[in-house]
Amino acid sequence: MMDSILSKAILLFASILTVFSGSNYIQLGIDSLTFDFKTGEIYPIYYYLNLQNVGPKTARFEISSDSNWVSAYREGTDYTFVELPSQAYVNFVLTIRPERLSDGVNEAKIILKVLDIDSLVSQEVILDETEVLIVLNKNIIPTPTSIPTAVSFPTENIPVSIPSSISSPAVESTTPQPRSADLGPILKQIQSLIDSIRILLKNFF
């Protein structure tokens, strides 16, 4: 009788020591999962959660959910627990029921707990524990990114200066051209001068 009590006490002490020594048993590789769902798509959604026992010994792995729209069980069975040897793998199947949810962002948690097998008879000793966050976006339409539009300004009554070196070939020049001078009076004066010279020469000869 004393030997039985003593052995149980030793096992309990060893389990507690394992917890405080920081031994890890759960290896998942993820800590959250996100799903998008629109009404009309196929449901339920299934996801295989792969887990490895990285602890030093065989332990009992239990899985549960804090919401009624997510359930979990060991692949190939309907059990929510499994005794897994060190370094062994197991798949837990997550069943997600989006039809039970309202539109928007919905969250739930999957709880994984590792128990010491030898202590289950007398007292539950937790060797490791972790949570996986489940996020389901139902009928959420992504908001389009706004594109800035060009701003137009009124152009009326705004003076525009055009450099003098730039001219448009389609516009004819309106610069006034110089008018030809009237040569009539000048020719008359020249003819009169010639006649005077002729008269003067006649008087000398």
Helix/strand/coil (H, E, C) string of the chain? CHHHHHHHHHHHHHHHHHHHCCCCCEECCCCEEEEEECCCCCCCEEEEEEEEECCCCCEEEEEEECCCCEEEEECCCCCCEEEECCCCEEEEEEEECHHHCCCEEEEEEEEEEEECHHHCCCCCCEEEEEEEEEEEEECCCCCCCCCCCCCCCCCCCCCCCCCCCCCCCCCCCCCCCCCCCCCHHHHHHHHHHHHHHHHHHHHHC
Residue 187 has pLDDT above 60, yes or no: yes
| 119-128: pLDDT as tens digits | 887 788 999 9
pLDDT above 60 (res 179): no
Domain boundaries, the chain: 25-138
The mean pLDDT of the chain is 80
Q: What is the mean pLDDT of residues 136-140?
A: 97
Is the per-residue pLDDT at 165 higher than 90?
Answer: no
Query: Does the pLDDT at position 200 exceed 90?
Result: no
Q: What CATH number should be reported for the domain whose range is 25-138?
A: 2.60.40.10
Give the per-residue pLDDT at 86.
Answer: 96
Model pTM score: 0.60
pLDDT digits (tens, 9 = 90+) for 1-49: 544 554 455 444 544 544 444 569 999 989 999 999 999 999 999 999 9
Question: Looking at residue 172, what is its pLDDT?
Answer: 47
Cα separation, 15 vs 30, whole angstroms: 26
Q: Which two tokens stand for residue 13?
A: 């002490």
Other Cβ atoms less than 10 A from the Cβ of 76: the count is 8
